[in-house]
Amino acid sequence: MSNDQFVRNIASREEEYSRWYTDVVNKAQLAEWSLVHGCMVIKPYGYALWENMQRLLDQRFKATGHQNAYFPLLIPESLLAREAEHVEGFAPEVAWVTHGGKEELEERLAIRPTSEAIIGETYSKWVQSWRDLPILINQWCNVMRWEKVTRLFLRTTEFLWQEGHTVHRTSDEAMEETRRMLGVYQDFVENELAMPVIPGRKTDNERFAGAVQTFSIEAMMGDGKALQAGTSHFFGQNFSRAFNIRFQDVDQQMEYGWTTSWGFSTRMIGALIMVHGDESGLIFPPNVAPRQAVIVPIWRGGDEQTQVDEAARQLQRQLSERFRVHYDGRDEFKPGYKFSEWEMRGVPLRIELGPRDLASGQVTLVRRDTREKRPAPLEGLADVVSELLRTIQDDLLARARDFMRDNTVTVTGSSLGELEEAIGQRKFVWADWCGQASCELAIKARTAATIRNIPFEREERPGLCVNCGQPSDGPVIFARSY
C-alpha cells in the first residue's frame, strides 16, 4: 500500500465531514463498534488519549479540593423516580436489569445514566451537621444511555466520564462551585485540548433534567456545528429535598443542602478529532497526544540500517525521559508509508533520522500541523523538541480561535431570514432573543439551530428578538449542534 493509498482511504474532510470523521476514527485505531448496540471498544491509542485527559483533569479536581470515590452502577427504579424532572428526562434511555442469576428481581435496577439519585441517597446519610459540609466528591466511571442513533465517541450507549457531586451549606457557595468547575473545564479544554470555548448559561429548554441552572462551554467543530464541551449544574435544593439531604446549621436549624454536579466525557475525544483534524487525518495537541513525537528511521539496509537503528533507539530512550516518544523501527514499511500513517494518526511531531543526518549529528523535525521541516542538532535536541511542542500547542489553539472568529456572525434585530441564512452557512450566530421558550422552539423548527448558551461575556443592551421582535436584553449564541 503506497502512502497515497493510505490517505485515499479517508473521505475528504472538506466535502464529506461526517464520513471523514468515521474514517479517521477507524483508520487511526482510536475505537470501533462492538457487536452490542451502540457500545464501542476504545482501542489502546484512543484510550491513551483518555488517560492523558483524565490525568490532567484529575489534577485540577484535586487542586480545587475534590476527592474521588465510587458509587454503585445500579440504581433502583424507585430511587431514580424521586426527582420528577430527573426521571422524566432519563428513564426513556435507561438500560434495565431485571434478573440477578436465575432470579427475577423484586424491583428493576437502572444502569446509571448519571448518578445524582444514588449519590443523593448516600449523601443523605453523610450529611448531618454544617461541619460535614462542603462535600466535594468526584467519580470516574462508565454510564449508559440507550441511544437509538449512535456515532463513535460522540453518541454511544455506554461511555466513560467523570461526574462531580457536591453539597454546600449555602446557595452562594453552591453557585460558586458550579461556576468554578465550569472554569476548570474551560481552562482544561482551552489549555490542554487547544479548543476555544464559549462559557455561558443554558436556556430552560436545554437545562439538565432536575437542575435550576445549567452552565456549559460550547466549542465549534470543523464543520461550524457546536459541541457542548462540559457542563456544570446548580441544583438549588431540588435534589436535597428529593433525597432528604438535611443538616443542622450553625444556628441549630435544620436546612436542606445546596447541591451541584458537573461532568465531562469521552465524547470530548470526538470533539478533539473534529476541531483539529485536516485532509491527512488527525492532529492531536501535544499536551494530550498519546504519542507526542515519532522517530522514523531512514535506511537502505546493511550496515547503514544497523547504525541508524541503533542511533534512533538511543534517541528514543533519551527523549522518553521527557516526552511520549514512539520509535517506528518496522522493517516491512517504507518511510513514506510511515510518514503518512503517523500523520493520519495525529502525532504532532515527526523526527526523521537518516545516514546523512547521523553523519552531520542532526535530525529533521517535521511539524504535523504546518508540515514545516527543519534540521536540528542531536545535541540538546530535547530542549528544541520541548519548545516546538509548546509552539504547536499554542498554534493549534490560535488556529482554532481564528476559525471560530471567522465563522461567527452577528445578526441584528428581528431578521429571522438572516439568521436562517447564516445557520445554513454553518456559522455560530449572535442574535437577540426575548427569553421566551416559544421563540426558541420556533427558531429551532425553522433553522435546526438551538441557543447554545447565553454567554457570560456578552453585550448587555436593549435589542429586538430575532424571531418575534419583542424586547431583548442582549444577544445569545445560535448554532446547530452535535
> Is position 98 an interface residue for a second copy (rule: CB under 8 A)?
yes
> Is position 142 an interface residue for a second copy (rule: CB under 8 A)?
yes
> Is position 198 an interface residue for a second copy (rule: CB under 8 A)?
no
**List of E strands, 308-392:** 325-327, 345-346, 349-353, 362-367, 373-377
Q: What's the min distance (Å) between Cβ of 205 and a second copy?
A: 22
> Is position 334 an interface residue for a second copy (rule: CB under 8 A)?
no
Q: What's the min distance (Å) between Cβ of 333 and a second copy?
A: 11
Residues in Cβ contact with 99 at an 8 Å cutoff, skipping those fewer than 6 apart: 105
Q: What's the min distance (Å) between Cβ of 31 and a second copy?
A: 9
Handedness of CA 390, 396, 397, 401 (dihedral sign): positive
**Residue with C-alpha cell 465550569?**
182
Which of the stretches 70-78, 193-201, 281-289, 351-359 binds a second copy when contact is defined by CB under 8 A? Answer: 70-78
> Is position 134 an interface residue for a second copy (rule: CB under 8 A)?
no
> Is position 161 an interface residue for a second copy (rule: CB under 8 A)?
no
> Is position 97 an interface residue for a second copy (rule: CB under 8 A)?
yes
Residues in Cβ contact with 429 at an 8 Å cutoff, skipping those fewer than 6 apart: 408, 409, 410, 411, 419, 422, 423, 449, 477, 478, 479
> Is position 102 an interface residue for a second copy (rule: CB under 8 A)?
yes
Of the candidates 274, 207, 216, 278, which has an alpha carbon nearest to the alpha carbon of residue 236? Answer: 207
> Is position 149 an interface residue for a second copy (rule: CB under 8 A)?
no
Among 92, 375, 377, 471, binds a second copy (CB under 8 A): 92
> Is position 445 an interface residue for a second copy (rule: CB under 8 A)?
no
> Is position 482 an interface residue for a second copy (rule: CB under 8 A)?
no
Q: Give yes or no for a contact between 158 and 142, defined as CB atoms under 8 angstroms apart.
A: yes
Number of residues that bind a second copy (CB under 8 A): 55
Residues in Cβ contact with 353 at an 8 Å cutoff, skipping those fewer than 6 apart: 295, 296, 297, 298, 308, 311, 312, 315, 363, 364
> Is position 314 an interface residue for a second copy (rule: CB under 8 A)?
no
> Is position 300 an interface residue for a second copy (rule: CB under 8 A)?
no
Q: Give yes or no for a contact between 257 and 251, defined as CB atoms under 8 angstroms apart.
A: no
Question: CA distances (Å), 50 to each of 140, 177, 327, 386, in order?
Answer: 12, 25, 22, 22
Q: What's the min distance (Å) between Cβ of 282 and a second copy?
A: 18
Q: What is the DSSP string of 257-316?
A: -EEEEEEEETHHHHHHHHHH-BTTBEE--TTT-S-SEEEEE---SHHHHHHHHHHHHHHH
> Is position 34 an interface residue for a second copy (rule: CB under 8 A)?
yes
> Is position 403 an interface residue for a second copy (rule: CB under 8 A)?
no
Among 67, 205, 412, 425, binds a second copy (CB under 8 A): 67
Smaller CB distance to a second copy: residue 17 or 50? Answer: 50
Smaller CB distance to a second copy: residue 115 or 260? Answer: 115
Q: What's the min distance (Å) between Cβ of 104 and a second copy?
A: 10
Among 88, 96, 204, 374, binds a second copy (CB under 8 A): 96
CB-facing half-sphere around the CA of 462: CA atoms within 13 A? 2
Question: CA distances (Å), 146 to each of 89, 91, 153, 267, in order?
Answer: 13, 10, 14, 15
* Residues in touch with a second copy (CB under 8 A): 32, 34-37, 39-44, 46-48, 50-51, 67-76, 79, 92-102, 108-109, 111, 118, 121-122, 125, 131, 137, 141-142, 144, 146, 157-158, 160, 332
